[in-house]
Amino acid sequence: MRNFEVAIIGGGVVGCAIARELSKYDVRVVVFEAGSDVASGASKANSGVIHSGINSPPSSLKAILCVEGNKMFPLLSEELSFPVKWTGKFVIAKNEEEVDELERLMETGIKNGVENLEIKEGDEVKKLEPNISCFSALWIPTAGITSPYEFTIALAENAVENGVSFLLETEVNGLNKKNDIFSIKTNRGEFKADIVINASGLNCRKIVSMVEEPDFDIYPCRGEYLVLDKNYRYLINSMIYPVPVKEMGVLGVHLTPTIEGNILIGPSAEFIEDSSDISTTRKMMKQLFHEAKEILPSLPEKGVINAYSGIRCKISSAGEGLADFRIEESRNFRHMINLIGIESPGLTASPAIAKRVVGMISNIIDLREKRDFKVRKRKKRFSEMSVEEKSIMIEKDKRWGRIVCRCENVTEVEIIEALSNILGAKTLSAVKYRCRAGMGRCQGGFCTQHIVRIMEKNFGMKIKDIKLKSPNSYMFCGKTREENE
């Protein structure tokens, strides 16, 4: 089928949230994603924070949608089975001068409707966070953490379960409109749609420029992170933020516990030319460590086990301060909805953005609710089961008794199920993000070979077609020796 009512460009968290919201209605929806899986860009590489909404100016879209989105997470997490933890967050003032900033944040928060904000004295903070020293701190109990890729994958897979078509490794390279119908050119041929949603993140300008001259620019701003070993999880209980760095329009290097039990340090903020350059740099690794050490003096030198970066989609340059989200219909092309400048707090706002976009769509076409909308129940992982549950599963299917990833105790069945995902994502990363195989301390040293064998044997994949994470990230150049030669 190549004719759809709604075509969504981009399988990041925003595109997937819109797709999932639309899947509640009787409407034909397609999502085009250039990567080999959803959450291939900034949706995967961020702090995984469910923000409270204290950081954006009152009545901005960022503030409204962040506060609204935040409140949607408890129900979403239940309906989609992805993890959420309400750790709360401290913004710390190192000295008396910074206290003014805390008061301003609190005032903004109250105006935005953030509840239960409280400024705590340094010694009170010390009781809750023994490793943190500060003058005083703003306590934000409604801030939480999630696993951003598990959330995005859950949204996408639930959307597919409810009838949405997802096309991975499908890049949109042309767009035009004739007789009220959009025709969308991709590397997999042409598609037609009545409504186009541009949720392509950093590529939003590129997509807009296919139909009209954009009235905005993108200023890619890279944020690098360091990941601490799980052994140091005890160092903090909640998120620890400095007062925001205003000039850059970012929140500053902070410490965030992750769902898995690591601690993230970051992100840095650096405007760069190439919006796809997700490198990490020696300079920033040093700086991040240095800044984090100021917040947490007992940070261990040897504790860093990983580093990554993500790119913020900013539509204001360094000196211009904060810009708001833009969620609007194109000036010249009706029925094309552009989502521009969706950066932090985009992850938190994504479900509220989806509601808003679906509202806009309902003004264009008639949306009728489905009767048989399904929620998504994730199966318990082997590592989460009791001894009795494990025994029962192995009795039913002996592949539950074959551990493939020894660091995370992932079984053969779980690998096969991850590879059978309804989206059709078949990279090693797709496996990793669905069942955690390869995510442990040996980083795939033991299980990669076994997963590759399963890809070959159970899924008939050719060695040369096995990829790490993206369309051209091939793992092997072929067989060492060809057989039957």
Partner 1 sequence: MNEIYVDLAVIGGGPAGLASAISAKESGVEKVVVIDRNSWLGGILPQCIHDGFGVEEVGKSLTGPEYAEMYIKKAEEKGIKFMKETMVLSFNKKLQILAVNKKGLYTINSKSIVLATGCREKTRWHALIPGTRPSGIYTAGVAQSFINLYNIMPGKKVVILGSGDVGLIMARRFTLEGAEVAGVVEILPYASGLPRNVVQCLEDYEIPLFLNHTITLIEGKERIEAVTISKVDENMNVIEGSEKRIECDTLLLSLGLIPENEIAKTARIEIDDLTGGAVVNQDFETSIPNTFAVGNCLQVYDTVDVLSIDAKTAGKYAGEKLVYGGKEKFNCIKVVPGNGIRYVVPQKIDRTGKVIISLRVRKPGENLTLVIKAKNKEIFNKKMPWVNPANMVRMEFNVSEEIFSYESIEVELK
Interface ranges with partner 1 (CB under 8 A): 276-282, 285, 304-308, 387, 390-391, 394-395, 398-399, 401-403, 406-407, 409, 441-446, 448-449, 452-453, 463, 467-481, 483
Instruction: State the minimum distance, in angstroms, from the CB of residue 444 to partner 1.
Output: 8
Burial of residue 51 (number of CB atoms within 10 Å: 0-12, 13-18, 19+): buried
Q: Which of 51, 254, 335, 450 is catalytic?
A: 51
Q: Does residue 337 sit in helix, strand or coil?
A: strand
Nearer to partner 1 by C-beta: 377 or 462?
462
Pick 368 or 464: Cβ nearer partner 1 = 464
Q: Could you tell me which of 7, 83, 78, 105 has the C-alpha nearest to residue 335?
A: 7
Q: Please, what is the minimum distance in Å from the beta carbon of residue 382 to partner 1?
A: 9
State the DSSP code for 463: G
Nearer to partner 1, 190 or 274 (CB): 274
What is the spatial distance between Cα 378 and Cα 400, in angstroms, rounded to a whole number? 16
Minimum gap (Å) between residue 430 Cβ and partner 1: 13
Q: Which residues of 103-135 are buried (b: 16+ CB within 10 A; e: fewer)?
A: eebbebbeebebeebebbeeeebeeebebbbbb
CB nearer partner 1, residue 365 or residue 468? 468
Question: For residue 233, what are its two tokens?
Answer: 């999880």
Which sign does the torsion angle of CA 127, 128, 134, 139 carry?
negative
Q: For 90, list phi and psi in degrees, rounded to 5.
A: -110, 130
Measured from the CB of residue 171, what is the shortest distance to partner 1 in angstroms? Answer: 14
Whichever of 119 and 452 has its CB closer to partner 1, that residue is 452
Is 450 known to be catalytic? no
Residue 473 CB, shortest distance to partner 1, in Å, is 4
Report helix, strand or coil for 126.
helix
In sequence order, the 6+-apart residues with CB closer than 8 A to the CB of 12 are 38, 39, 40, 41, 42, 43, 152, 199, 200, 201
- Find the shortest distance in angstroms from Cβ 81 to partner 1: 25
Name the amino acid, one letter, at 465.
D
- Give CA–CA dist 52/19, Å, rounded: 24
Contact 147, 414 (CB under 8 A): no
Find the shortest distance in angstroms from Cβ 416 to partner 1: 14
363 vs 480 by CB, closer to partner 1? 480
Task: Report the residue number, 195 or 404, with the smaller CB distance to partner 1.
Answer: 404
| Contact (Cβ atoms closer than 8 angstroms) between residue 65 and residue 38 | no
Q: Supply the residues annotated as catalytic.
A: 51
